[in-house]
Amino acid sequence: MPEYEPKILSFLCNWCSYGAADLAGVSRMEYPPNIRIIRIPCTGRMSPKFILAGLRQGADAVWVSG
């Protein structure tokens, strides 16, 4: 049986973590492929309903990063 690969729904701030993810990509760093990124304009855009909607539709976990 293949290893369990969770889907992690990630809300990343355009200016912070999204930039970091971009930089990580440009620098050819390796990281797990389990995250599914949604870019948000700012962490202030975050709302609890996004998290619950994500979990409800089957995400294994939610990660919010600013």
Partner 1 sequence: MKNFLEHTGIEPGRLHFSWISSAESTKFVDVVTKITDEVKMLDPANKKYVKTEPKVD
Partner 2 sequence: MTEYTDKIKEISKRVLAEGRVEMVIGFRKGSVPMMNQPHLATSAESVDELVWDSNCGLNLANYITDKKGTIGIIAKGCDSRNIVTHVIENKIKRDQLYIIGVPCTGMIDHHKINAMFDSEILTVEESGDQITISGNGFSETKDKQELLQENCTVCTHRNPVEYDELAGNLVEEQKNVDQYASVTKVESLSADEKWNYFEDLLSPCIRCYACRNACPLCYCPTCFVDESRPQWVGKSQDPTDVKTFHLLRAYHCAGRCTDCGACERACPMGIKIREFTKKLNKDCQELYGWEAGLSLDERPPLDTFKTDDPDEFIK
Q: Give the residues lining the site for partner 2 (CB under 8 A).
A: 48-50, 52-53, 56
Judged by CB, which is closer to partner 1: 30, or 44?
A: 30
How many other CB atoms sit within 10 Å of the CB of residue 18? Answer: 20
Distance CA 55, CA 6 (A): 12
Q: Which does 32 bind (CB under 5 to 8 A by kind): partner 2, partner 1, none?
A: partner 1
- Say how far apart CA 44 and CA 22 lie, in whole Å: 20
Which residues contribute to the site for partner 1 (CB under 8 A)? 3-4, 6, 8, 15-24, 27, 29-32, 34-35, 48, 51-52, 55-58, 60-66
